[in-house]
Homo-oligomer: A and B are copies of this chain.
Amino acid sequence: MKKAESIMMAAEAFAENYGKEPLFQPRHGKEMPKRAAVIQFIRDLRQIMFPGYFGEDSMRKIDSEHFATYRINHLYDVLKREVETAIWYMEEGKTKEEVEIEAERICSEFFVELPDVQRILLTDVQAGYDGDPAAKSKEEIIFCYPGLLAIYVYRVAHILYEKKVPLIPRIMTEYVHGRTGIDINPGAEIGEYFFIDHGTGIVIGETTKIGKYVKLYQGVTLGALSTRDGQQLSGVKRHPTIEDHVTIYSNSSVLGGETVIGENTIIGGNTFITRSIPANTKVSAKSPELVIKSPKKHAWDWED
C-alpha cells in the first residue's frame, strides 16, 4: 500500500468514526478549558503562596501589597477564563451572562479564601520538618518535597471543588498526580499539619476525611471497598475517615466509607484494613512466617 492510499483510507475511516460518536461532537461546538492554562495557573500561584521560592520579584521588597495585588489580578483573569469555559462547557441550560456572573463570584471568593490556605500550608511545612529526619531545613521542604507540592495543589483545587467548578479541580490534581505519583481527589477533606513522605502511589479517594497531624507514607491507599455500583455511588461516602494524630506507614490500605481510624493510632506498613480501628491503638500486620531455603550459586543463578 502506498502512503497516499493509506492516508486516504485512514482519513475516511476516522471521518466515519467522528460522525458516529457523540463524544466527538463536543457539546454544540463549545470549547474545553485549556489544560496548559490551568497547569500554568497552579504553577504561577506558587509565587504568591510561597513568595521567594519559585522566582523572586523585587516588587515584593518595594511593597508587598502592591506585589500581591498585581499578581492576583493576573491570576484572577487566567482562572476566570478557565472557570467560565468549564461551566459553559459542562452545564447546559445557563446563559452566557449567568455563566460569567457565576465565574466572577467563584473567583472573587476563591482569592479571598487563599490567604487562609497559605496559613494552613505553613503548618504542613512544619509537619514535614518535624516528621522527617532527612529534611535539612524547612526551605528544602517547600522547595523540593513532592508531598508538599501535592498537598498545595490539593488544597487549592479543593476550594474550587467545593464551589462545584467542573473539570478544573481534577485537571489540577491529575497534573500533580503525574508529577509526584500522589493522587488526592480534590473532594477529600484534609486537616492541618498534614505530612506525606516520599508519596509515590498514594491514593486518597473523593469522600475521604482526614483530621489534623496525620502522616502518610508512600503507597498508602485510602480507598473504597467496592465500586460495583458505578455511577450510582456518586456522592455516597465510600472512603474512610482518619482522625487526628494518625500515622499510616507505607503500602497500607484503609478501605470503606464506614471505616474510621481513631485518633492517636499508628497503622504499620503493608497492612490491609477494611474495618474501624479504635483510638490510641498501634496496629501492625503480624508478619507472615518466612520461608527460607538453602542457596546455590548466587542470587541470579538460583533454582526456585
A277 to chain B: which residues have CB within 8 Å?
A: 290
| Closest Cβ–Cβ distance, residue A169 to chain B (whole Å) | 10
> In the complex, what residue of chain B is closest to A290 when comparing beta carbons?
B283
Q: Is A282 an interface residue (CB 8 A)?
A: yes
Decide if A7 touches B73 in the complex (CB within 8 Å).
yes
> In the complex, what residue of chain B is closest to A167 when comparing beta carbons?
B140
Known contacts A133-B231, A302-B228: A270-B272 contact under CB 8 Å: yes
| Closest Cβ–Cβ distance, residue A19 to chain B (whole Å) | 7
Decide if B10 touches A112 in the complex (CB within 8 Å).
yes
A25 to chain B: which residues have CB within 8 Å?
A: 52
Decide if B201 touches A232 in the complex (CB within 8 Å).
no
Which DSSP category, helix, strand, loop or mixed, fits chain A's interface? mixed
Q: Is A40 an interface residue (CB 8 A)?
A: no
A4 to chain B: which residues have CB within 8 Å?
A: 62-63
Task: List A5-58 residues whose CB lies under 8 Å from chain B.
Answer: 5-19, 21, 23-26, 29, 31-32, 35, 48, 50-54, 56-58
Q: Is A225 an interface residue (CB 8 A)?
A: yes
What per-residue 1/0 map shows which CB atoms of A122-148 lie under 8 Å from chain B? Answer: 100100011111111111101111100
Complex Cα distance, B92 from A302, in Å, reads 35
Complex Cα distance, B277 from A272, in Å, reads 21
Decide if B299 touches A3 in the complex (CB within 8 Å).
no
Q: Is A223 an interface residue (CB 8 A)?
A: yes
Q: Is A241 an interface residue (CB 8 A)?
A: no
Decide if A5 touches B108 in the complex (CB within 8 Å).
yes
Task: List A62-114 residues whose CB lies under 8 Å from chain B.
Answer: 62-70, 72-74, 76-77, 89-90, 104-105, 107-109, 111-112, 114
> In the complex, what residue of chain B is closest to A176 when comparing beta carbons?
B178
Q: Is A259 an interface residue (CB 8 A)?
A: no
| Closest Cβ–Cβ distance, residue A241 to chain B (whole Å) | 16
Query: 12 more A-B contacts (CB under 8 A) besides A66-B66, A200-B203?
Result: A6-B108, A25-B52, A35-B54, A58-B74, A59-B73, A67-B70, A133-B206, A133-B233, A137-B166, A143-B171, A213-B298, A285-B290
